Amino acid sequence: MAILQKIRDKGLMTAIIVGGAIALFVLDPEGDGFNLPWGNNEENTVALSIFEEESDFFRQYNENIEIIKNQYPQESEGQRHEKAFIKTTEEAIVTKSNQLLGLRVTEAELDELQTGSIRINNIHQAYPAFFSSVMERSQYLESAQQILEDINGDQRMFQPKDYEQLEKIRKIIRQESQNNKFKSLIENSFYITSNEAKSIHLGRMQNSKLDYVKIPYTILEDQEVNDKEIQEYYQKNIEKFKKHRETRDLEFITFPITPSLEDDLNLQQELSKNVSSRFKKSNNDENFVKRYSENNNNQFRYFKSSDILNTLSDNQFDPILQTLRQDSNIANIIVKNNPGDVVGPFVTNEFGKKTYRLYKYSDKSLRSDSIRLKHVMLLVDRSSQEKLDSCRLLLSSLDSSLNSGADFNDLVMQYSADDASKIRGGDIGWIQENSEKFEFLPFVNRSLLFNDGMNTDTIFKLSSQNSQGEVFFHLFKIKEYSQLVDKHKIVFLDRILIPSENTIENSYDDASKFLEDYSESNLDFRKYAESNNMLVREDFNLHNMSFSISGLIQARDVVKWLYGWSGDVKVNRKVGDVVSVPLICTDNHVIASLSSINNKGNIPLEDVREQIILEIQKQKKHEILFNKKFASLVDVAEEYKISIDSLSNVNFDKLKTLSAENEPSLEGFVNSGEIGFSSIPVMGNNAIYFVNIKQKLNTQNPTDLQINNIKTSSVQQSNIQGKSIYESLIETIRRNSLIVDNRDTEF
């Protein structure tokens, strides 16, 4: 009741759903109308003070950038910044809303989310996940209260960095809890009546048969539209023509920075003479590749010739093997060359650019293809340096015992953490050198097991890590070897062909010469560029945090120039301004011109005139068909020479599925219309429809349980844009808040 009283004190909160979107208003009892409580005044401005590095917004924004980077590693830098911007501003809105309504998250609530002292299911999953590397979930549940006391006390149980991370987790959970409280309040503010729920159920479940005629707007004669009609439509629908942030338009030309023929020949010569000879003399081929190759993360292994030459053999997904199989030169290397030989360079396209590759026949060796292993596996306790050192000491002690003649089986039974192999004396079976069967054991460690010269008396130590992040120490002993076979190790290094400094300078000089000549002309940018046979490209609606432009991914410097930045100084950029020096982005020198500034707020009428004319044309065409008063669907079809289409077993959900053209007005008409032909045409987005509903088979009335389920789910259902009611509400508030976005001072 206290929360409801707060709402009453602030004003009557009303949610209005219009076309799938939600607008939130507060009716001020003492005011003249509707006002958004989260914006439109100086006091409620949400400012992203990125320039002030000590501000909470700066810290929160950077934390959100890292969170989103981990969640969406494949997205571009610009996409991550946009997601972080939305997340940070929406969190600020929720925080401010909770302050206005008196909603807060107490320290006691946060303690409960960490310990579950009242109800064990209250524990937030982030805490057991954080401690998973040092304890099982059950162990955390038993120790949660003790851990909290340690955090609030002397902080002796963990490392300093762990306490810092726990503080971050608590902060994230606080924000999450704030969001959940506000979300719960909003969702509980929406109510679906039983009659509405019943109507929704019947609309979903009824089966209808219908015939219809679809008349595209394009086949109907255009009607005259005058200025008065355009002005009236613009004023009546002004909310459609608002920009929620300033954007700018750009015209630009590019001077590609492409490697010259001389660059190509120089790289070939360097690889053939210099790198090739040093590669041949190298005693550690992997280290040489890591130092001199573009692709330096490869793990090169031994393969049988049949593995390399037979594409149908095992190891189909080994990346190195796939690379070797795809190159026709490999067969000649194995057959005609000797270990130590370097061949190439060969042209490849490994990185989407012209690349040269050198192969080295690194080694040929008799090796077992399979070995049978047994091991003692120790689970490493990394909760403290003392416990980690203790694990290492135990490993060394067991190693010494085995080398002194201790029974391997006895140590397995006493110490091994691998219960599956313990009953077999630690036997984990046969393992191939390049098999993925034992994925926990890295290939780089596994290859040591297959070196010739090993024997069944050798004990060796390796470490591994499983997919849950648990670390293990192993003492391995080889029980058996398979027959020795010839295996080949082929190592390669790649060098991308890149432009030389001289080539880059030549491109810059060409771009600078264009600028110099342009400044002496009396033509505008586009006309001058086209008169010199340059392709003028465009991009539109670039905001101040755009990171790419049309066809160019890394274009942040161009966008910053567009918004007035010149180094650390910001100037007032005007339409028609052209860069004073060429800008570099994505292997191009760019000459850019600011072609338009699209201010936040109402879009000028002239900019949307053609769009408005099309909408008025639709209305007039619909009115003409409305006044024709057709008697039947056949009359409509004959008049416009269009066939009649049919649908059967139609209900509301099926209509939404079938309506790929996004025609919600048609969906609504069929769902609510009466049986028979309607002479009233349905005005759609893409066409005008005449419908004859031939049959409606209503289902039984819903049960009380079905009605309650509809009431509950409707608040959480997605709207047309695929967003929940709460998400739509938050976005509406955010878009109508005064958000000062000055991130471009820092990024």
Pairing of strands 645-650, 21-27: unpaired
Domain match, 461 and 569 both:
no
Q: Is the pLDDT of residue 605 over 50?
A: yes
pLDDT at site 227: 93
- Which DSSP category does 702 fall into? P
Residues 400-446 pLDDT 10s: 888 788 888 888 888 888 888 888 888 877 877 766 555 555 544 55
Q: Is the pLDDT of residue 697 over 50?
A: yes
Q: Which of 482, 515, 547 is the last residue of a domain?
A: 482
Q: Is the pLDDT of residue 652 over 70?
A: no
Q: Is the pLDDT of residue 653 over 70?
A: no
Cβ atoms 547, 257 nearer than 8 A: no
Domain match, 565 and 537 both:
yes
Task: Say if 374 falls within a structural domain.
Answer: yes
Domain match, 169 and 272 both:
no
Element (H, E) at 329: helix 329-336
Q: Per mean pLDDT, which range of 40-49, 614-623, 655-664 is the poorest?
A: 40-49
pLDDT at site 20: 27
pLDDT at site 233: 93
- Gap between the terminal Cα atoms of the chain: 46
Q: Residue 195, exposed/middle/buried by CB under 10 A (0-12, 13-18, 19+)?
A: exposed
Q: Is the pLDDT of residue 623 over 90?
A: yes
Residues 575-593 pLDDT 10s: 999 999 999 888 899 999 9
Domain match, 57 and 84 both:
yes
Domain match, 110 and 56 both:
yes
Domain match, 83 and 144 both:
yes
Domain match, 171 and 60 both:
yes
Domain match, 315 and 349 both:
yes
- Which DSSP category does 270 fall into? I
pLDDT at site 617: 94
Q: Is the pLDDT of residue 15 over 70?
A: no
Q: Sheet holding 12-18: strands in order across?
A: 12-18, 21-27, 34-35
Q: Is the pLDDT of residue 14 over 60?
A: no
Domain match, 251 and 273 both:
no
Q: Is the pLDDT of residue 659 over 70?
A: no
Give me the chain's average pLDDT, please.
Answer: 78
Residues 535-580 pLDDT 10s: 999 999 998 888 888 888 888 999 999 998 887 888 899 999 999 9
The count of structural domains within the chain is: 5
Domain match, 158 and 251 both:
no
Residues 286-325 pLDDT 10s: 888 888 888 766 777 787 777 777 655 555 556 676 677 6
Task: Say if 12 falls within a structural domain.
Answer: no
pLDDT at site 2: 31
The three-point CA angle 108-109-114 to 5° equals 95
Note the Cα 204 to chain centre separation in Å: 34
Written as one letter, the residue type at 358 is L
**Short-list 451, 475, 478, 452, CA closest to 463:** 475
Domain match, 592 and 617 both:
no
pLDDT at site 30: 34
Mean pLDDT to the nearest integer, 70-96: 83
Task: Say if 712 falls within a structural domain.
Answer: no
Residues 118-172 pLDDT 10s: 888 888 888 888 887 777 777 788 888 888 888 888 888 888 888 888 888 888 8
Domain enclosing residue 179, as ranges:
2-6+37-190+725-745
pTM over 0.75? The answer is no
Residues 448-507 pLDDT 10s: 666 654 556 677 777 776 666 677 788 888 787 777 888 888 888 889 999 999 999 999
Element (H, E) at 27: strand 21-27
